[in-house]
């Protein structure tokens, strides 16, 4: 048997290793020229092709957001030579020589070989001047991209804004690099992965005079950018504009929903702002101005402000009382103001009257019956058992938890249950007499305006709701967004909604009703006023409503801060929006003028 000597084995290993390296080197230098490209990076330029973000449309395909081309001046520090005419560049860019040198230092710190932004969002005029002299600025080139524009300047809180990526966003997502833009709020943030598209790259040959000589190898190593997908929203642009007009010089919110789908028709947080203010080179300074504005225009009251709901909460109390069998539609209670304060009106001899006249002692009695059903002889335990069951009903309405709307930063509000009061007062240290203010939507209860509008949708649907959402479909194929589409039943039998609906109809359309200013001749409007107590100033006005009474097309909540009684301001504003949506025009011109001209943005 042939055997190699030790010397021969060592020689073969050395020769084999040499051959392996030689073959690899040959492959790298001759066959696979990607390495050649990297080694001669100063002869090539890698230009990112930024895709246009997806456009946004309203429910009738009217344009809400589009893209406008802009330009960034990029620099590759390694390619900048000593003969660079910094004086000319600083003059074109309208910055100092010191700024130029500082920016180059920053670029070198980032990378000597990779491109980074030297001056971003250059105007068309500056771009034209740069193009004329760019050949003399070795290492510099123009990168095209786009900025968002909002033609109607409405729905700022819905649409959101786009800004430059921060350190946290770069760290958490490998798709982005320094200088990239990302959705910061609203739909821009929630649907970022749909809207952003996919970046491409062009490998371009550059001569010694910094002039581009075309794509390397006819674009063999290029990749094409893919534009972002369009969003087709649920917003009605005409209605949105009208609702924002009505809320000028007021603090509060409007949320209007199509009950049969959960689609949000209008969404207003007031005061609002022009979304174009948070675009381009002025974004940072405008953001600081808005952030420091005492009226808080950046604060989205529709989903982030939690208020005591006031008397609109009586509707939920009535439904729970009926379901539990502690009252019937014909139950009557004396308006005993020694129990709880109320405005002057006849005693309510039925549930319908109780809702129509918004009688506080009536719902004091309803809530007491819900909590104290005699399940235990100890009143503390009896109240705890009743409140525990009541809390479950409230969660069924979507209160005390986040509604899954497709927008960030939604608050849950607060529904206080036994755990809350046990922690606050101690076990068996509280009873109905401690928490009776919950009966009329005061005390510790907190709802956000979105939940208030959803309550109106639940009653309009006679016992169920679809998760409110702001986007109907995405992209050319119009596929549905990945959102909850389940029909949520609230745990109340549909038969119990009829007396509640009749009470809401009476509040608007019958003598003695608290919402008479919402009445219309040809549309059966159902509504409920509320006055949310404010310990820090004048009370807040709230109104929820739906219309028509049968086969409702719109459900709405209007919340006007520091404006007093709900029937004075919130109810007429809601009725004008209903009229506008259902008929396409508003005939009550005097009422419209009074609502538009009202200045209620008191601190």
Query: Which run of H or of E encompasses 432?
Result: helix 432-435
Asked if 218 and 268 sit in the same domain, the reply is: no
Confidence check: pLDDT of 142 > 50:
yes
- Over range 368-388, report the average pLDDT: 96
> What per-residue confidence (pLDDT) applies to 113?
82
Residue 29 confidence (pLDDT) above 60? no
pLDDT at 4: 63
Within-domain flag for 6: no
Cis peptide before 270 (omega within 30 of 0): no
Higher pLDDT, 31 or 451: 451
Q: Which pLDDT score, from 0 to 100, does residue 32 have?
A: 54
CA atoms within 13 A on the CB side of 1: 1
Q: Nearest-CA neighbor of 76 among 36, 111, 30, 34?
A: 111
- Per the CB < 8 A criterion, the answer to whether 308 and 435 are in contact is no
537-547 mean pLDDT: 91
- Place 209 in a pLDDT band, splitting at 50, 70 and 90: low
pLDDT in tens, 238-267: 999 999 999 999 999 999 999 999 999 999
CA 499 – CA 353 distance, rounded (Å) = 10
What's the pLDDT tens digit per position in 426-471?
999 999 999 999 999 999 999 999 999 999 999 999 999 999 999 9
Host H or E run for residue 543: strand 540-547
* 197 and 248 inside one domain: no
The residue range of the domain holding 446 is 237-286+300-597
Distance CA 177, CA 175 (A): 7
When divided into structural domains, the chain yields a total of 2
Same domain, 364 and 246: yes
Query: What pLDDT does 481 receive?
Result: 93
Residue 7 lies in a domain: no
The helix or strand, by DSSP H or E, that contains position 64, with its residue range, turns out to be strand 63-75
Give domain status of residue 396, yes or no: yes
Are 308 and 212 in a shared domain? no
Euclidean distance between CA atoms 398 and 455, whole angstroms: 8
Contacts of 106 (CB under 8 A, 6+ apart): 116
Strands 231-233 and 56-57, by their bridges, are: parallel
The kind and range of the H/E element at 148 are strand 140-149
> What percent of the chain stands above pLDDT 70?
92
Same domain for 525 and 467?
Answer: yes
Tell me whether residue 142 is in a domain: yes
Are 205 and 97 within one domain?
yes
d(CA 82, CA 319) in angstroms, rounded, equals 80
Tell me 480's DSSP state.
P
- Determine the Cα–Cα distance for residues 142 and 135; give it in Å rounded to an integer: 11
Same domain as 391, residue 260 = yes
CATH code, 150 = 3.90.1310.10
pLDDT the model gives residue 26:
58
Helix (H, G, I), strand (E, B) or coil at 32: coil
CA end-to-end distance (rounded Å), the chain: 102
Is residue 406 classed exposed, middle or buried when 0-12, 13-18 and 19+ CB atoms within 10 A define those classes? buried
User: Is 202 in contact with 543 (CB distance < 8 Å)?
Assistant: no
CA 209/CA 482 separation, integer angstroms: 51
| Burial of residue 415 (number of CB atoms within 10 Å: 0-12, 13-18, 19+) | buried
pLDDT-derived band of residue 603, with 50, 70 and 90 as boundaries? low
274 plus 341 within the same structural domain: yes
Strands 252-258 and 487-489: what pairing?
A: unpaired
CB 19 within 8 A of CB 169: no
Q: What percent of the chain is modeled with pLDDT above 90? A: 72
Which domain-ending residue is among 233, 260, 275? 233
Q: Measuring CA to CA, how many Å separate 307 from each of 27, 173, 447, 542?
A: 70, 36, 5, 10
Predicted confidence (pLDDT) at residue 493 exceeds the cutoff of 80: yes
Residues 215 and 245 in one domain: no
Helix, coil or strand: residue 420? helix
pLDDT (0 to 100) of residue 45: 73
Strand ranges for 167-276 from DSSP E: 181-183, 200-206, 212-215, 231-233, 252-258, 263-270
How far apart, in whole angstroms, are the C-alpha atoms of residue 494 and residue 73? 64
**70-123 per-position pLDDT tens digit:** 899 999 898 898 889 999 999 999 999 999 999 999 999 988 888 889 998 888
Q: Look at residue 587 and tell me whether its pLDDT is greater than 70.
A: yes
The pLDDT, as a whole number, for residue 583 is 97
Cis peptide before 548 (omega within 30 of 0): yes
* Region 356-376 average pLDDT: 97
In a domain, 512, yes or no: yes
Rg (CA), the chain: 33
At residue 37 the predicted structure's pLDDT band, cuts being 50, 70 and 90, is very low
| Confidence check: pLDDT of 33 > 60 | no
Residues 303, 330: contact at Cβ < 8 Å? no
Statement: residue 272 has pLDDT above 90: yes
Omega into 271 within 30° of 0, i.e. cis? yes
Residue 475: pLDDT band (50, 70, 90) is: very high
Whether 48 is in a domain gets the answer: yes
Record the pTM.
0.88
In the predicted structure, residue 356 carries a pLDDT above the cut 80: yes
Burial of 433 from C-beta contacts in 10 A (0-12 / 13-18 / 19+): exposed
| Residue 539, phi then psi, degrees to nearest 5 | -65, 160
Residues 6+ apart with CB under 8 A from 457: 257, 259, 262, 465, 468, 546, 555
- Residue 157 is assigned to a structural domain of this protein: yes
> In terms of domains, do 256 and 359 share one?
yes
Q: What is the pLDDT of residue 2?
A: 57
Residue reference for tokens 């007396």:
499
Residues 384, 475: one domain? yes
Which CA distances in Å does 367 have to 371, 396, 415, 499? 6, 17, 15, 17
Helix (H) or strand (E) holding 453: helix 449-460
- With a CB cutoff of 8 Å and minimum separation 6, the contacts of 27 are none
Residue with tokens 């928490």: 435
Alpha-carbon distances of 331 from 354, 358, 391, rounded to whole Å: 9, 15, 23
How confident is the model at residue 43, as a pLDDT?
Answer: 65
126 and 141 assigned to the same domain: yes
Q: What are phi and psi of 229, to 5 degrees?
A: -80, 145
576 inside domain: yes
Instruction: State the Cα torsion 399-402-388-367 to the nearest 10°.
Output: -10
CATH number at residue 412: 3.40.710.10
Token look-up 């019956």 returns: 369
Residue 201, both tokens? 């790259």
- Of the residues 199, 215, 233, the one at which a domain ends: 233
Q: How confident is the model at residue 290 (pLDDT cuts 50, 70, 90)?
A: very high
């Amino acid at each position: 048997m042939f055997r190699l000597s030790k010397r021969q084995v060592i020689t073969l290993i050395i020769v084999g290793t040499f051959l392996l390296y030689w073959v690899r080197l040959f492959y790298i230098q001759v066959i696979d020229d990607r390495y050649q490209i990297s080694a001669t990076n100063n002869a090539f330029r890698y230009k990112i092709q930024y895709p246009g973000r997806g456009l946004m449309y309203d429910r009738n395909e009217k344009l809400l957001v589009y893209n406008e081309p802009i330009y960034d001046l990029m620099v590759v520090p390694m390619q900048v030579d000593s003969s660079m005419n910094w004086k000319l560049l600083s003059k074109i860019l309208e910055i100092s020589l010191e700024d130029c040198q500082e920016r180059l230092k920053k670029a070198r710190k980032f990378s000597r070989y990779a491109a980074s932004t030297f001056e971003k969002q250059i105007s068309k005029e500056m771009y034209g001047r740069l193009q004329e002299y760019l050949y003399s600025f070795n290492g510099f080139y123009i990168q095209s991209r786009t900025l968002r524009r909002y033609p109607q300047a409405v729905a700022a809180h819905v649409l959101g804004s786009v800004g430059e990526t921060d350190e946290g966003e770069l760290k958490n997502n490998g798709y982005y690099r320094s200088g990239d833009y990302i959705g910061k709020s609203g739909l821009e943030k929630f649907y970022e992965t749909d809207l952003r598209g996919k970046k491409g790259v062009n490998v371009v040959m550059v001569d010694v005079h910094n002039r581009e000589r075309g794509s390397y190898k006819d674009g063999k190593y290029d990749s094409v950018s893919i534009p972002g997908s369009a969003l087709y929203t649920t917003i009605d642009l005409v209605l949105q504009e009208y609702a924002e007009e009505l809320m000028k010089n007021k603090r509060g919110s409007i949320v209007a929903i199509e009950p049969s789908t959960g689609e949000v028709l209008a969404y207003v947080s007031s005061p609002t702002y022009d979304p174009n203010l948070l675009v381009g080179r002025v974004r940072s300074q405008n953001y600081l101005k808005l952030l420091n504005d005492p009226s808080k225009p950046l604060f989205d009251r529709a989903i982030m402000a939690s208020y005591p709901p006031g008397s609109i909460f009586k509707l939920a109390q009535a439904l729970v009382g009926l379901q539990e069998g502690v009252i019937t539609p014909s139950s009557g209670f004396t308006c005993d103001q020694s129990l709880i304060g109320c405005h002057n009106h006849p005693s309510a001899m039925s549930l319908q009257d109780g809702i129509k006249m918004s009688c506080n002692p009536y719902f004091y009695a309803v809530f007491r019956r819900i909590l104290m059903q005699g399940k235990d002889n100890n009143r503390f335990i009896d109240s705890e058992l009743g409140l525990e069951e009541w809390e479950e009903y409230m969660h069924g309405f979507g209160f005390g938890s986040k509604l899954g709307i497709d927008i960030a930063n939604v608050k849950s509000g607060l529904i206080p249950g036994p755990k809350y009061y046990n922690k606050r007062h101690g076990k068996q240290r509280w009873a109905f007499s401690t928490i009776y203010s919950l009966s009329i939507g005061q005390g510790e209860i907190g709802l956000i305006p979105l939940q208030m509008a959803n309550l109106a949708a639940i009653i309009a649907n006679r016992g169920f709701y679809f998760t409110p959402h702001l986007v109907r479909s995405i992209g050319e194929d119009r596929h549905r967004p990945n959102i909850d589409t389940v029909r949520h039943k609230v745990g109340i039998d549909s038969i119990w909604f009829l007396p509640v609906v009749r009470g809401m109809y009476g509040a608007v359309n019958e003598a003695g009703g608290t919402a008479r200013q919402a009445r219309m001749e040809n549309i059966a409007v159902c509504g409920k006023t509320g006055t949310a107590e404010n310990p820090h100033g004048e009370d807040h006005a709230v109104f929820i409503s739906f219309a028509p009474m049968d086969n409702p097309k719109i459900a709405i909540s209007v919340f006007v801060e520091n404006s007093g009684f709900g029937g004075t301001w919130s109810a007429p504003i809601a009725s004008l929006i209903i009229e506008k949506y259902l008929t396409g025009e508003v005939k009550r011109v005097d009422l419209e003028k009074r609502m538009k001209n009202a200045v209620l943005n008191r601190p």
